[in-house]
């Protein structure tokens, strides 16, 4: 689903933005899949030899030299990956917006939006349209709560090791990613108790999954939880409100916002500025049957 176009566009976008903002937030980061058995390795190689996946999956099976990583059935690399330091990216973007008087640090309240036939007003801001980029909160917003969200809670750990170093990301039911002086271990998926509170159950789940790929002892330095704005068909929600054309939504990226947002933001601009139709896969018109005035 739009992977080829979106991935290449995203990488070039973030690299060009680094230059524009004078900040660093993109890092080349190899990612390796660890196989649990021979069947997983065979399935991988079958995909890697198909035209659809050959540019993404390596055909070479490797074994890590690091004794701390269990990889009896080998590993293989996911090709052309990069790591976006999202906090550094957001910090640099915020600084740019603040310097250009385009940032407000406040909670958005949709009930304060004032609509006119061809305009919208909100707390002193006057515009032709307003774009709702409110994440999971859109699922309970009066303008877009008709869309079939399927919200999902995720939790991750920040962990530290005493004598363990890894300069690549690894994946096996969990993902371990080097970041600065520690590591990110994530993540969980839960469709119950949708809140942003870390849980002991998720901490235990992530710890046990990590122990299946490594015997290294670690300390947990942080534990975070958030709600993903996932959708029922795993496709983003973009487009204009069915009746109130002053309102638009840009949402539903789920776990793939880093890859999808730059490419789809360009498509959204083309819709709003030039009236160019959105790709049908992401246009909220596909869910009009759920809308009632």
Q: What is the C-alpha separation between 244 and 144, in angstroms, rounded?
A: 11
Q: What is the pLDDT of residues 217-247, one digit of tens each?
A: 999 999 999 999 999 999 999 999 999 999 9
Q: What is the C-alpha separation between 84 and 92, in angstroms, rounded?
A: 13
Query: Is 67 a residue whose pLDDT tops 80?
Result: no
* CA of residue 82 relative to chain centroid, distance: 13
282 contacts 237 by C-beta, under 8 angstroms: yes
Q: Which domains does the chain have, with CATH numbers?
A: 3-86 (no CATH), 114-149+232-285 (3.50.50.60), 152-228 (3.30.9.10)
For the chain, give the percent of residues with pLDDT over 70. 100
198 band by pLDDT with thresholds 50, 70 and 90 = very high
pLDDT, the chain, mean = 95
> According to the model, what pLDDT value does residue 164 have?
77
1 band by pLDDT with thresholds 50, 70 and 90 = confident
Q: What is the C-alpha separation between 247 and 238, in angstroms, rounded?
A: 11
> According to the model, what pLDDT value does residue 166 have?
86
Query: Is 44 a residue whose pLDDT tops 80?
Result: yes
169 contacts 176 by C-beta, under 8 angstroms: yes
Both tokens of 130, joined, read 């307003």
Residue 260 phi, psi dihedral angles, 5° rounding: -85, -35
84 band by pLDDT with thresholds 50, 70 and 90 = very high
Which strand ranges, in their side-by-side order, compose the sheet holding 130-132?
130-132, 247-251, 237-240
Q: What is the C-alpha separation between 13 and 25, in angstroms, rounded?
A: 12
Q: What is the pLDDT of residues 85-141, one digit of tens each?
A: 999 999 999 999 999 999 999 999 999 999 999 999 999 999 999 999 999 999 999
């Amino acid at each position: 689903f739009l992977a080829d176009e979106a991935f290449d566009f995203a990488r070039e976008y973030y690299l060009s933005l680094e230059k524009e903002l004078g900040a660093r937030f993109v890092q080349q980061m190899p990612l390796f899949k660890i196989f649990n058995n021979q069947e997983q390795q065979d399935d991988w190689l079958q995909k890697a030899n198909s035209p659809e996946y050959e540019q993404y999956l390596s055909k070479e099976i490797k074994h890590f030299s690091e004794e701390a990583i269990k990889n009896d059935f080998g590993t293989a690399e996911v090709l052309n990956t990069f790591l976006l330091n999202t906090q550094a990216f957001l910090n640099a973007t915020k600084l740019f917006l603040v310097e250009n008087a385009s940032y407000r640090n406040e909670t958005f309240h949709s009930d304060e939006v004032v609509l006119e036939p061809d305009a919208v007003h909100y707390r002193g801001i006057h515009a032709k349209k307003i774009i709702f980029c409110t994440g999971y909160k859109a699922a309970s917003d009066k303008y877009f709560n008709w869309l079939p969200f399927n919200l999902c809670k995720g939790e991750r750990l920040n962990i530290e090791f005493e004598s363990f170093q890894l300069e690549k990301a690894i994946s096996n039911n969990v993902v371990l990613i080097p970041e600065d002086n520690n590591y990110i271990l994530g993540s969980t998926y839960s469709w119950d108790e949708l809140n942003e509170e870390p849980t002991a159950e998720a901490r235990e789940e992530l710890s046990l999954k990590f122990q299946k790929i490594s015997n290294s002892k670690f300390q947990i330095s942080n534990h975070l939880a958030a709600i993903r704005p996932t959708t029922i068909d795993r496709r983003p929600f973009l487009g204009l409100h069915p009746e109130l054309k002053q309102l638009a939504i840009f949402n539903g990226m789920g776990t793939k916002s880093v890859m999808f947002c730059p490419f789809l933001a360009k498509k959204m601009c083309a819709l709003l500025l030039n009236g160019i139709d959105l790709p049908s896969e992401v246009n909220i018109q596909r869910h009009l049957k759920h809308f009632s005035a």
